[in-house]
Amino acid sequence: MGFAILPDARRYRLTNATVPACLAEGLAPDREGLARADLTIDGGTLAAIRPVGSPDPDNLQALDLDRGMVWPALIEAHTHLDKGHIWPRGPNPDGSFDGALTAVRADRAAHWSAADVRARMEFSLRCAFAHGTRLIRTHIDSDPPQHDVSWPVFAELRDAWAGRIELQGSALVGIDRLLEDSYFDDLSRTVRAHGGILGAVTYPVPGLEAGIDRLFGHAVEHGLDLDFHADETGDPAVRSLALIAEAAIRHRFRGRVLVGHCCSLARQPEDVIDRTLDRVAEAGLAVVSLPMCNMYLQDRRAGATPRWRGVTLLHEMKARGIPVMVSSDNTRDPFYAYGDLDALEIYTQATRILHLDHPVGDWPRAITATPAAVLGRPELGRLEAGGGADLVLLRARSWTELLSRPQADRIVVRAGRAIDTTLPDYRELDALLAPEGEQA
């Protein structure tokens, strides 16, 4: 249960609130980048956001938040709902990237029926909704024949969850597979038929540059955005981010391109970093870091302490005007054994891992306004009069209070009303996820 009860009225006020100033225009920030405000809710609309203490000529019912924070609903730009929660039946034996690939491939071949994928994706969406997320992009494993199974499930869930969580889908396949004519044509038809976009993992394999070029050419032809997994490794010789940027420039690409991970960039020489980031900025790419998953997988060696945090260079990218954001990535699967699609947890951990503090500045946009814009929904992820009354109310009054506790008593407001934030019980998945030989 949340920390307070909203007024039982269509029109009401949230008074004495604290908001991140970077998410609400027209409010004077304090030295921490926070602002005090009163908000007026009218049904599903945030009718007004004014400086604290503003007069209320209508004498509306009000909830005094006692300086508690108000955030817009949260945005996740990079997830894997179709992999989610398979850990109990398909764990990663050593926590490595290769171990994750092997475990997922085996589980997918053995278990990923439409019913299995649907149940796990639905469970994940219920978690994200309870935590306060409004928009999610999920990658869909699209190796054949899985694309014929998972994309229809994605489309069904997108329609079923409309009005609660907006769901976007991006194909996930090794870049070399895109050079197989019959498969690529079939994949493209499937993705477009179900309202998705194209994407790939840019492994350092023969045909990498040809695969990237083919993907851009196809996206230009069909008016599609693109989403890449790039350089998820600590090997400084792996540099596909630069190849993606150069391809976007070469194709004069005008769609949106989001690139995830980019871990190896942090291990490269400074002159290589500078050249790469200049090209990324010129190409207009956006980058999403997955701090919890990257720190879990990168630099993992048996019996050794990791020497680096696994994350990419968000500060340097942001300084060049490159749109940057953070997201969950994997959830309770072989690529990340933990997580609950709690975007606020991601922001908290990203602040600690990536030093998004002192000052906090406009880093709250990394889980709200920036991914909303990159995913084509710029009206979301901000506190704006006339916008939707989709909010997250928190007891925390300052950054140190926000980032020190999990905010488990948060109130999630959708269309002006508080929702039930009870999380689904993992036991619901027991029959589905029992290891081989243990099914009831």
Q: Which residues are catalytic?
A: 232
Return d(Cα 429, Cα 277) in angstroms, integer: 43
Determine how many CB atoms are found less than 10 A away from the CB of residue 425: 9
Edge-to-edge strands of the sheet including 324-326? 198-201, 226-230, 257-261, 286-289, 324-326
Q: Apex CA 140: angle with CA 134 and CA 141, to 5°?
A: 155
Q: By CB neighbour count within 10 A (0-12 exposed, 13-18 middle, 19+ buried), where does 183 fall?
A: middle
Cα first-last separation, the chain: 34
Q: By CB neighbour count within 10 A (0-12 exposed, 13-18 middle, 19+ buried), where does 43 fall?
A: exposed
Edge-to-edge strands of the sheet including 34-42? 62-64, 11-20, 34-42, 45-51, 387-388
Determine the 3-state secondary structure of 361 from DSSP. Answer: coil
Return d(Cα 18, Cα 10) in angstroms, integer: 22
Q: By CB neighbour count within 10 A (0-12 exposed, 13-18 middle, 19+ buried), where does 438 fall?
A: exposed
Q: Are 217 and 253 in contact (CB under 8 A)?
A: no
Determine the 3-state secondary structure of 101 from DSSP. Answer: helix
Pairing of strands 166-172, 391-393: unpaired
Return d(Cα 306, Cα 299) in angstroms, integer: 5
Pairing of strands 133-141, 74-79: parallel
Rg (the chain; Cα; Å): 22
Query: Which element (helix H / strand E) includes 259?
Result: strand 257-261
Amino acid, single-letter form, for residue 348: T
Return d(Cα 102, Cα 427) in angstroms, integer: 26
